[in-house]
Structure 1
Amino acid sequence: MNKDNLTKEELMKYICSNLGENLEFFKNDEVKKLVANSEECKKLLKSLDITVECYRNYNVEVSKESHERLIDYLGLKE
């Protein structure tokens, strides 16, 4: 992946694909540079940060159907 010419959609997919156990990529200098140049990316990262924080702090069971609807709504189905 050429990180110098990422579209916003590619950056979003890159970020979302790394939302597993390891969020260290947020500290990556290349990602910081990409995000620094886009207000939309800054807002997206802030939103993701809040979402991850909520996910970690609140133990809520979500049905498989709800999960699938959310993924579909977000357009993240492969």
Structure 2
Amino acid sequence: MKHDEALDIVKESLADVVPDADITTLGPNDTFRDALGIDSLDFLRFVELLTERTGIRIDDEDTAHLTTLGDSTRFLVAHAQ
């Protein structure tokens, strides 16, 4: 998986979880919780969507690597088969 493809998947997943959020203003290091007001249930839905869309298994210990656009994108690229 290429960086741009992973980034699109992350953005699409965020847009599905928080439809009213303006994802275009989100910087690569902005935390989803602070910038979008995502709570723990929203975050779990985001992780589920990433798994569904990529087929990548995301364990509980991996979620710390999914809190920003940059981190989420790098995680998906690194773990894609």
TM-score by length of 2: 0.28
Return the index of the structure with the highest Cα Rg: 1
Q: Which has the higher contact order (CA 8 A, sep 6+)?
A: 2
TM-score by length of 1: 0.29
